[in-house]
Amino acid sequence: MDLKLSGKTAVVTGGARGIGRSVCQVMAAEGAKVAVFDILAEAAEETAQMIKSAGGTAKAYAVNLSEYASVKDAVAQVKAELGPIDICACVAAITDNQATIEKMALEKWAREIKVNLSGNFYLVKETIDSMVERNFGRYIFVSSRAGMDGGFGQCAYSSSKMGLIGFARSLSLEYARMGVTSNIVFPGLVDTPATAGLSEEARTRIIARNVMGRLQDPEELADAIAFLASDRAKGINGAELMVSQKPAPWSFRPMELPGDEAAMGI
């Protein structure tokens, strides 16, 4: 199936590694010009080089999503260098908050919400106008099972990912009639640098509640995201797509049984 991404400009946040890097590669292979947004400047450049070596078009931008000015500047540069932005794949996030609520540091809470939630708001705020002008736009956000169910030791991450659901739903209501869609994907456990440090016990526990009963490759997420970014998905708006997870109605129950911190490994 031709996804018709040729000639489109796509911003991919978190494009330096993991799922984001795969999204960059898949979109570039489908013909998009890719703007790799990441705070890891060197690794983002590496992604852009990999794409160029494979014959695609890409440019790396050092962006800190938690700073509005950084996002604003980078978006202006992309518009000047790669043309108006058609697609934003919002993949970047941090998950460094393994602490119960009473132990959660205020700065960690604020940082998680800023990167994982506010950063997406900044990006949409800076890109929506040109999408509306051209009557075409695609936003794809990456949430998490923790965004539906909460997570033991993950109050900030979970809140940011749940907040993202509300944000994406609002966007899907406000701009659908202007050709702009907003959808979310929910990964299972994906084999990326972010999950490399999980203990064997945690890995087994998470895989056990995945309906497919296995780890996912980043490419599986990238394929779903590239499809939602395409013209072929023009009728899909406000969707919350489980990629290997349980369907949403099943998931509104505690993800973990109540446990103590030692049992959860935090």
Binds ligand NAD (CB under 6 A): choice among 23, 78, 115, 241: 115
Q: Of 193-232, which residues contact ligand NAD (CB under 6 A)?
A: 193-195
Per-residue CA distances from 10 to 58, 140, 163, 212 (Å): 9, 11, 23, 30
Tell me if residue 157 is catalytic.
yes
Residue 92 or residue 136: which is nearer to ligand NAD going by CB?
92
The answer to whether residue 118 forms part of the interface with ligand NAD (CB under 6 A) is no
Tell me the closest approach of the beta carbon of residue 28 to ligand NAD, in angstroms: 17
The region of 23-31, 93-101, 128-136, 257-265 touching ligand NAD under the rule CB under 6 A is: 93-101
Per-residue CA distances from 70 to 74, 121, 122, 138 (Å): 6, 13, 10, 22
* Cβ atoms 62, 38 nearer than 8 A: yes
Exposure string of 57-84, with b = 16+ CB inside 10 Å and e = fewer, is ebbbbbbbbbbbebbeebbeebbeebeb
The answer to whether residue 40 forms part of the interface with ligand NAD (CB under 6 A) is yes
How many positions of this chain bind ligand NAD (CB under 6 A)?
29
Catalytic, out of 61, 122, 139, 157 = 157
The answer to whether residue 162 forms part of the interface with ligand NAD (CB under 6 A) is no
Residues identified as active-site: 157
